[in-house]
Amino acid sequence: MSRILAIAWKDLRSTMRNVPALVMMLVAPLALAALLGFAFGGGQSFSITATKVAVANADTGAFGVGAVGNYGAVVVGVMKSPDLKDIITVSDKPSAAAARKAVDDGKAAAAVVIPADFSGVMSGASSVAPTTAIEVYENPTQQIGGAITESIVGQALLGFNGARAAAVAASGLATANGDGDRAGELAQQAAAKYIQGGGAAAGVSVAQRAPRLPGGASTKDVGVSGTILAGMMVFFMFFGANNVARTILDEERAGTLPRLFTTPTPRRTILGGKFSSVFVTVIVQAVILLVGGRFIFSIDWGRLDAVAALTLVAAAVASGLALLLISLVRTPAQAGGIGAGVYLVLALLGGNFTGAAAAGGAYATIQKLTPNGWLLQGWDAVMRGGGLADIVLNLVVPLLFAVVFFAVAVLRFRKRFA
Amino acid sequence: MKRIWTLASKDLLETRRDRLALLFTVIMPLAFTTFFGLMFGGGSDRLPLAIVNADSGAPAMQLVSALAQSGVVKTEAMTIAAAEKAVDDNKVAAALEIPAGFSAALAAGRPAALTMVSVAGSTGAQTVQTEVMALAGRLAAGERAAQAAVAVAGTPPGSDPAVGEQALKDAALLMARPLAAQSLAHPVATVKVVQAGMAAGQIPTGFVLSSPGMLVNFILFSLLTAGIALIQERRNFTLLRLMTTRVRRWELIAGKAVGMFALTFVQQIILMGAGQLLFGVDYLRDPAALLLMMVALSLFASTLGLLLAAVLTSEQAMVATTVIVSMSVAALSGAWFPLEITGPAFQAVGHLLPTAWILDGLRGIIVRGFGVADVLPAFGVALAWSTALFVLAVWRFRLSD
Amino acid sequence: MSIVEVQELRKQYDPPKGVLAVDGVSFDIAKGEIFSLLGPNGAGKSTTISMLSCLLHPSGGDALVDGHSVVTDAQAVKEAIGVVPQDIALYPDMSARENLIFWGKMYGLAGEALKTRVNEVLELITLVDRQKDRVEKFSGGMKRRVNIGVALLHKPKVLYLDEPTVGIDPQSRRSILDGILALRDQGMTILYTTHYMAEAQELSDRIGIVDHGKMIAVGTNDELVKIVGEEARVELNVDHSLEGMVERWAEVQGVTKAMIDEDRAVLLVQDANEVLPRLFETAAAAGSRITEASVTEPNLEMVFLHLTGRALRE
């Protein structure tokens, strides 16, 4: 046992003296987490810049009986309201073509084009067209901006359509009550009343809250930094494990491994020592990153027992995978190249770079194909306040992966170093 | 010039023979792209939404039924406890709590509150919330319209205001509601969405938008194999030996660059071909513009790889640096997530990099019908960067350890 | 009595058609003696040592080290031997002391006993003042000394040294050779492989000459040299057509072997004084002029040449 520890300690010390390895294991995850944190506003939440919208109001207005003036201007007014200033930034354009050009030139994410007959159709004054439409011309690569613009315009239109519905309903009621000749007048009054009442805006509100745990306590909001650093940590633990496992090949070439085999220490102890080296190094790496996350990014990782369990299982997965890969390749250079490729694919599939997938989607299923996907979901749950009982599967499934990795690695090493 | 080509072809030949390099520069990205395309190429799924309805009134039922028919969400009724857990476990994107007084509040003309239970920051929850607000908004609008109509025209003329006003009003409401709902169902004013550059009615799928990003990711990563090969050559002293021939230093380096350029270019052809033929990602929409972007990307990738291999000495350092650099560049360029969801500072920094411009160019070609003139700025940025990187590489290139 | 008995050791890589690296090698080493395996590169020396170190399984035969079989009792053999491999097998980013402590643990030492022994070995290899420096900073000779020191930590009964002086400066080589002699004087048995004849001659009590996996001669220096009898080595060069001359010289009476080595003629002759004039005559008769001539008395290189028809150095 002490000889296994002696080997593990030697390798750990070696890693601490290896600058590229330290950069990979410690600096890279923290630096990338900082970079991505900076991406998302550097704060605790995903905040995005206001969408730029170009608007062209060609509405000629409708003046006369029951008309309010320029309905198009009302819509523009809604868009420019102070409540929305963090969400959209509106710029006026003289024509539809100019507004669309703003989108084409990349200066706006969307353009809102209000047609000339808008007020006319809305007020019923125009007999030419029964319906009208406001065009939202979007840049398809800016889906979010487009969706936001559609939503805002839709809300504004709802106001008009609602007033119209009030008018229609009042007209119908009047007719049913035998008051048909006052139908038009009552319709306009109903529409006016609807608008005075604040329209749909006063109708329904939606408040958001975090889900509650079985005990009744609310789950915590996980900051962006926590999710990102967890993903980076697991990804770079793969590399950390790879670096140490690689030394098995390096030592084989350098002659120190065969020399170890000429000592009275049995081969299984020697290989066991190398396996332990990988595991121990990765645990130390994880602990440093967890502490770093706590103090540099103020991440609250959650309950200690759950965090410890996740860390141990993550270390087992990383070590097992690295040892498996090493047992399959021949040269240290291959180990570096193949390892990087495999880890990248696993990370892309498991969501290390992108965070939790949308529920029910294909991506959520794909993430479950990877051990790191399960682990990351576990970290997320624990950061939201969960405990060991909530992450049982997130511990057991990756552990099974690790066991299989280790088993195959042991078989191959035995064959190689018989 | 001929010497440069000879050097480059030697490198390419070695790469073709090195099965490992082949695996990682061609097969793996291809397999990955195919996998992702199959998963996401078909358009988006409906987001699961749990509904906890504590209200038995008609408006609540209407809301539930409207959501059930929505193309954005897929609803499932649950108890509150089950819903909390489902949200926490990410089995549903969100849960909607309709409280017991909802219908009554709407009917009385008071503001009605709904609660969404979701994990903060989840984009799925955002989308669900938008849809719920839209549908609930319409519902409320219909209710308010009916209320307004009844207030104005609910009592027949000449009826006794004191007698059974409420009953009259109730009866009127029963008639007004469907009228209002009917009107709202066929609105006079609608939103017409036009996606610039795309055929009518089409929306780009998630895969189409993410395909160029993945491409850039893999190209950057393949610098790894090329760089490692170069480092090994240095270690074998074959590089130094080449210098004792009449090959000049800059010719040697240019030969390396040409080799890397060709490798990444071939990679792009393969990946874009797969995207185009298998998943309908319309790269070939403007072949001239596409060619410009491909050249730009390969120029940048090869000169970057060259510089890294020039200054780094060990394979370990190469792996470490390539992983970090390629990940940072990918993130900053919008390969992993759209830059529109990041802050302005990040976008500014990201657009210092040619890859951000190239990605904008590629997405523009596919989705917005960009032409040569539109991607020329991107090409220019990439050319400037590549020249600078090449000069640095030549200056710092070490021929031996 | 013999502390090492090698019995018909064989090693074939990738049977049945693979290379037969060691083909039935047998020899004994007496307690307290220095035994050299002498032979050119590729003769099978390292393979033999690997089998004796229990690194490789023999394809046939056996060897007893301190009474234990390398095939069935490897553990006990490893306790009794110290192995100094041909390449430096140390951890370059660790100091000399750290290396010794680690390897000492691998040899089963611990605690105070380990520390004491490490200090002793550092004295032995005269690196006490550089013990805290990283091995990667050492000169070739210093690395070799640490390489040897590691093998001495557990006080083995037999020490294997596989080409320990390849590629180092004469001063370090001298100190290593002196060190080996000192160890022998303290009672250590030493198995030493080399392709340097001078070392084998200087150090060894007995020598085994190997070539192509076979042991072709065993004995003390004197015994071996007697194989070639009084044959002397004559080296000659002519101004033109060396090959033709060599063929003629091969026919000259008293010449037992004639060959070309490194652009000169190498002949084994029975009596240099008698044969040399004949060689000059033959050259003159053929119209060639001799440009250089030297005579070397019998030594191990000549033994090798005699036995194999090839030079020890390739």
C262-309: pLDDT as tens digits: 888 888 888 788 888 988 988 888 888 888 888 887 788 778 877 887
B64 and B21 assigned to the same domain? no
Closest chain B residue by Cα to residue A71: B189
> For chain A, how many structural domains are there in total?
2
Of B185, B216, B233, the one marking the end of a domain is B185
Q: State the residue range of the domain holding B96.
A: 47-185
CB contact under 8 A, A255 and C85: yes
Distance from CA of C25 to the nearest CA of A (A): 21
pLDDT at A336 over 70: yes
Q: Which of A63-77, A211-225, B50-64 has the highest mean pLDDT?
A: B50-64
pLDDT the model gives residue B310: 82
The two tokens of residue B69 are 């028919």
pLDDT at B249 over 90: no
Q: Which of residues 138-167 of A touch C (CB under 8 A)?
A: none
Closest chain B residue by Cα to residue A346: B32
Distance from CA of A20 to the nearest CA of B (A): 5
Mean pLDDT over B185-214 rounds to 81
A363 and A282 assigned to the same domain? yes
- Name chain C contacts of A261, Cβ cutoff 8 Å: 54-55
Q: Which residue has the higher pLDDT, B378 or B251?
A: B378
pLDDT in tens, A369-405: 999 999 999 998 899 888 898 899 999 999 999 999 9
Does a structural domain hold residue B11? yes
Q: Which of A337-351, B208-222, C124-138 has the highest mean pLDDT?
A: C124-138
- Name chain C contacts of A255, Cβ cutoff 8 Å: 85, 87-89
CB contact under 8 A, A262 and C102: no
Measured CA to CA, the distance from residue C53 to residue C276 in angstroms comes to 48
Distances (CA, A) of B314 to A25, A91, B318, C144, C264: 17, 54, 6, 25, 45
pLDDT the model gives residue A409: 94
pLDDT the model gives residue B200: 67
Measured CA to CA, the distance from residue B150 to residue B177 in angstroms comes to 9
Query: Which superfamily does C2-225 belong to?
Result: P-loop containing nucleotide triphosphate hydrolases (3.40.50.300)
B181 and B90 assigned to the same domain? yes
Interchain contact A48–B (C-beta under 8 A): yes
CB contact under 8 A, A258 and C94: no
Closest chain A residue by Cα to residue C111: A2
Asked if B223 contacts A166 with a C-beta cutoff of 8 angstroms, the reply is no
Does a structural domain hold residue B193? no
CB contact under 8 A, C78 and A17: no
B31 and B52 assigned to the same domain? no
A178 and A276 assigned to the same domain? no
pLDDT the model gives residue B44: 63
Q: Which of B155-169, B171-185, C65-79 has the highest mean pLDDT?
A: C65-79
Distance from CA of A363 to the nearest CA of B (A): 8
Measured CA to CA, the distance from residue C97 to residue A207 in angstroms comes to 68
CB contact under 8 A, A48 and B46: no
CATH assignment of the domain containing A94: 3.40.1710
Sign of CA dihedral B323, B325, B328, B332: negative
- Ranges of H-type helices in A91-223: 96-104, 118-122, 143-176, 183-196
Distance from CA of A358 to the nearest CA of B (A): 5
B20 and B54 assigned to the same domain? no
- Name chain C contacts of A262, Cβ cutoff 8 Å: 53-55, 78, 81, 83
Domain ranges of chain C: 2-225, 230-297
pLDDT the model gives residue C240: 84
Q: State the residue range of the domain holding A305.
A: 2-43+222-416
The contacts of residue B303 (CB under 8 Å, 6+ apart) are B257, B385, B386, B387, B389, B390, B393
B113 and B18 assigned to the same domain? no
Assess whether chains A and C touch, using the rule of 3 or more C-beta pairs within 8 angstroms. yes
A268 and A370 assigned to the same domain? yes
- Name chain A contacts of C110, Cβ cutoff 8 Å: 2
pLDDT at B16 over 90: no
pLDDT at A368 over 60: yes
pLDDT the model gives residue C306: 79
Mean pLDDT over A338-347 rounds to 87
Touching subunits of A (3+ CB pairs, under 8 Å) are B, C
Residues of C with CB under 8 A from a CB of A: 53-55, 75, 78-79, 81, 83, 85, 87-91, 93-94, 102-103, 105-108, 110, 150, 154
Touching subunits of B (3+ CB pairs, under 8 Å) are A
| Range of weakest confidence among A142-156, B149-163, B285-299, C188-202 | B149-163
Facing A336 at nearest CB: one of B115, B175, B315: B315
pLDDT the model gives residue B399: 66
pLDDT at C44 over 80: yes
A20 and A134 assigned to the same domain? no
> Greatest CA span in chain B, whole angstroms?
114
Instruction: Go through B44-69 and write b for each residue having 16 or more CB atoms within 10 A of its CB, e for each that does not.
Output: bebbbbbbbbebebebbebbbebbee
Q: pLDDT-derived band of residue A68, with 50, 70 and 90 as boundaries?
A: low
At A218 the three-state DSSP class reads strand
- Name chain C contacts of A2, Cβ cutoff 8 Å: 105, 110
The two tokens of residue C76 are 């006990």
B152 and B270 assigned to the same domain? no
pLDDT the model gives residue A309: 97
B220 and B292 assigned to the same domain? yes
Mean pLDDT over C242-257 rounds to 88
Asked if C138 contacts C90 with a C-beta cutoff of 8 angstroms, the reply is no
pLDDT the model gives residue C267: 87
A288 and A359 assigned to the same domain? yes
Measured CA to CA, the distance from residue C48 to residue C6 in angstroms comes to 10
Asked if C62 contacts C69 with a C-beta cutoff of 8 angstroms, the reply is yes
Same topology, domains C2-225 and C230-297? Answer is no
pLDDT at C43 over 80: yes
Distance from CA of C140 to the nearest CA of A (A): 15
B251 and B363 assigned to the same domain? yes
CATH fold of C230-297 reads: Alpha-Beta Plaits (3.30.70)
Assess whether chains A and B touch, using the rule of 3 or more C-beta pairs within 8 angstroms. yes
Does a structural domain hold residue B190? no
Test mutation, A89, A173, A188, A338, chain B, max B CBs within 10 A: A173
Does a structural domain hold residue B199? no
CB contact under 8 A, A344 and B221: yes
Mean pLDDT over B78-105 rounds to 89
Interchain contact A259–C (C-beta under 8 A): yes
Of A142, A168, A202, the one marking the end of a domain is A202
Facing C106 at nearest CB: one of A18, A254, A265: A265
From B184, B189, B196, select the one nearest A133 (Cα to Cα): B189
- Name chain C contacts of A259, Cβ cutoff 8 Å: 83, 85, 89, 150
The two tokens of residue C273 are 């004084």
- Name chain A contacts of C147, Cβ cutoff 8 Å: none
At C127 the three-state DSSP class reads coil
Place of tokens 């703003």: A102
B28 and B83 assigned to the same domain? no
Does a structural domain hold residue A325? yes
Measured CA to CA, the distance from residue B40 to residue A361 in angstroms comes to 9
Size of interface A-C (CB pairs under 8 A): 56
Measured CA to CA, the distance from residue A158 to residue B22 in angstroms comes to 57
pLDDT in tens, A207-236: 888 888 777 778 887 777 888 899 999 999
Interchain contact A267–C (C-beta under 8 A): no
Does a structural domain hold residue B391? yes
Strand partners, C190: C34, C159
B35 and B56 assigned to the same domain? no
Interchain contact A253–C (C-beta under 8 A): no
Interchain contact A291–B (C-beta under 8 A): no
A155 and A172 assigned to the same domain? yes
Interchain contact B222–A (C-beta under 8 A): no
B252 and B389 assigned to the same domain? yes
Asked if C49 contacts C41 with a C-beta cutoff of 8 angstroms, the reply is no
B180 and B233 assigned to the same domain? no
A337 and A282 assigned to the same domain? yes
Distances (CA, A) of B222 to A100, B225, B235, B266, B267: 39, 6, 20, 12, 9
pLDDT the model gives residue A44: 46
pLDDT in tens, C82-94: 999 988 999 999 9
From A113, A147, A109, A152, select the one nearest A133 (Cα to Cα): A113
Mean pLDDT over B186-212 rounds to 81
Distance from CA of C100 to the nearest CA of A (A): 12
> For chain B, how many structural domains are there in total?
2
CATH assignment of the domain containing B156: 3.40.1710
Give phi and psi for C10, each to the nearest 5: -130, 150
Q: What pTM was computed for the model?
A: 0.83
- Name chain A contacts of B44, Cβ cutoff 8 Å: 361
pLDDT in tens, A27-57: 999 998 888 887 776 544 555 678 899 999 9
Asked if C63 contacts C81 with a C-beta cutoff of 8 angstroms, the reply is no
Q: pLDDT-derived band of residue A127, with 50, 70 and 90 as boundaries?
A: low
